[in-house]
Amino acid sequence: MPIFIDRRLNPKDKSLGNRQRFLRRARGELKRSIREHFRAGKIADIDSGQNVSVPAGGTDEPRFEEAGDSGRRQHVLPGNREFVTGDRVLKPGQGDGAGSKPSREDSEDDFRFMLSREEVLELFFEDLELPDMVKLNLKEVLAFRPRRAGFAATGAPTNINVGRTMRNSLGRRLALKRPKNSELEAVRQELEELEAGCQNDAASARIALLLAELELLERRRRVIAYVDPVDIRFNRFEAQPVLNANAVMFCLMDVSGSMGEREKDLAKRFFVLLHLFLKRRYDRTEIVFIRHTHEAQEVDEETFFYSTQSGGTVVSTALEEMRNVIDARYPPSDWNIYAAQASDGDNFVSDSQHCITLLEETIMPRCQYFAYVEIIDERESHIFGATPNGTALWHAYSAVKDNWPNFQMTRIAKAADIYPVFRQLFTRQPAAGRKGR
């Protein structure tokens, strides 16, 4: 009789720990390859939900292996039908060879395992965050809601807690032996009865005694208040911060004639990335799309990205439209407002000053963050790359940037720039930068 052990009910996932170790190990590698993928590939593709397969390259386990392309070997194979000694067989890959290359290698190192779109994006966004989001949530919260938190000895009369106050009062009255009404009544009644009854010495003596007692009792009642200020307890409220996790993202884009197909395409990609990012990061996020030529209008996402319109370029119209939308629907006390603007930098000559005024006075005070992305020609990129020179709008915005630390601006010349710029714009703010707001 052998020993039987039924292991089926043993805890499962014995190798879960190893699996987690592997995913952690592969994480850096996965992130790197995803970054490559995003840099080179079409960003809009991500949203289609297709899976991205990732080679397990950084997790190979090296050991001394023989190189397949060197030396002389002998393979022993079964199933000879037609060969005799001395025949020559073309190697596979060198034409239509009949022989298949014998291989005992395990192809484990080539395996690619699938990450879902969610996992890919999780890795992609891992160390990205909208600026100061953490600060806003944890430190500098704008909204408070009072919340009951015990009792206090001071407070507004409307907050008196009657029950607690009366309990204190009763205790104090008992401790200080404040005469009760019934005791007082008893003395008074006896006094009345005596006064109404026959008058004799004993009675008058008794009356005098009772009167003295009555006076004592009444004095005690006067001195020992029924409800004393020390009894009073107030409901205590603590102002508890309310996490303000509503975010609205304004996407502003120039769709005028000066924006060519290439510029629009780059801007679209930038917004698509932003759009994805916001959808991912926030539970409750709204996005407002405002496109503008010489006039601005709020449009839906589809129109914003895929329909065209021609006209001049007056940037301030978009800013005004944004201000109007904020006033109408997104009070800054309830919403974290973020804005991103994409443009080729062209603007109607006299409009730039108006833009500065609008930004400085109405928009920046309400915004958590304003990102301006200027799409420039590739040939310009090495000219403008790091210099303050630039278009009219760039100049104007440079002035704003100096005044507002939460205003960021940068240039994009080609598709591959978007991701690094995106990271630069929305990467975690260094500790010093946090004090900005």
Residues 46, 52, 57, 60: what is their CA dihedral angle, to the nearest 10 degrees? Answer: 140
Based on CB atoms, which residue is closest to other proteins, 4 or 306? 4
Based on CB atoms, which residue is closest to other proteins, 11 or 430? 11
Closest to 347 (Cα-Cα) out of 430, 267, 254: 254
**To which residue do tokens 């996005």 refer?**
287
What would the 3-class secondary structure string for 291-345 be?
A: EECCCEEEECHHHHHHCCCCCCCCHHHHHHHHHHHHHHHCCCCCCEEEEEEEECC
What SS3 class is residue 410?
A: strand
Q: What crossing angle do the helices spanning 181-196 and 201-223 adopt, rounded to 10°?
A: 150
- H or E stretch at 234: strand 234-241
Based on CB atoms, which residue is closest to other proteins, 63 or 379? 63
Work out how close the CB of 105 gets to other proteins at its nearest, in angstroms, rounded to a whole number.
Answer: 9
Q: How far is Cα 26 from Cα 59, in angstroms, rounded to an integer? A: 6
Work out how close the CB of 61 gets to other proteins at its nearest, in angstroms, rounded to a whole number.
Answer: 6
Work out how close the CB of 32 gets to other proteins at its nearest, in angstroms, rounded to a whole number.
Answer: 17
Work out how close the CB of 348 gets to other proteins at its nearest, in angstroms, rounded to a whole number.
Answer: 55
Based on CB atoms, which residue is closest to other proteins, 12 or 435? 12
Work out how close the CB of 129 gets to other proteins at its nearest, in angstroms, rounded to a whole number.
Answer: 26
Work out how close the CB of 31 gets to other proteins at its nearest, in angstroms, rounded to a whole number.
Answer: 16
Work out how close the CB of 102 gets to other proteins at its nearest, in angstroms, rounded to a whole number.
Answer: 7
Residues 6 or more apart whose CB falls under 8 angstroms from that of 22 comprise 59
What SS3 class is residue 287?
A: strand
Based on CB atoms, which residue is closest to other proteins, 111 or 144? 111
DSSP class of 80: -
Q: How far is Cα 76 from Cα 251, in angstroms, rounded to an integer? A: 67
Based on CB atoms, which residue is closest to other proteins, 88 or 379? 88
Based on CB atoms, which residue is closest to other proteins, 25 or 329? 25
Buried b (16+ CB within 10 A) or exposed e, 289-322: bbbbbeebebbeeeebbeeeeeebbbbbbbbbbb
Instruction: Read off φ and ψ for residue 100, nearest 5 degrees.
Output: -95, 140
- H or E stretch at 195: helix 181-196
Based on CB atoms, which residue is closest to other proteins, 2 or 157? 2
Q: How far is Cα 223 from Cα 225, in angstroms, rounded to an integer? A: 6
Q: How far is Cα 20 from Cα 10, in angstroms, rounded to an integer? A: 20
Based on CB atoms, which residue is closest to other proteins, 114 or 216? 114
Work out how close the CB of 50 gets to other proteins at its nearest, in angstroms, rounded to a whole number.
Answer: 18
Work out how close the CB of 110 gets to other proteins at its nearest, in angstroms, rounded to a whole number.
Answer: 10
Yes or no: say if 107 and 113 are a contact pair by the CB < 8 Å rule.
Answer: no
Q: How far is Cα 43 from Cα 395, in angstroms, rounded to an integer? A: 30
Residue type, 266: L
Work out how close the CB of 276 gets to other proteins at its nearest, in angstroms, rounded to a whole number.
Answer: 27
Work out how close the CB of 120 gets to other proteins at its nearest, in angstroms, rounded to a whole number.
Answer: 17
Closest to 238 (Cα-Cα) out of 141, 145, 164: 145
Binding site for other proteins (CB under 8 A): 1-8, 10, 12-15, 17-26, 56, 59-81, 83-91, 94, 98-100, 102-104, 108, 111, 113
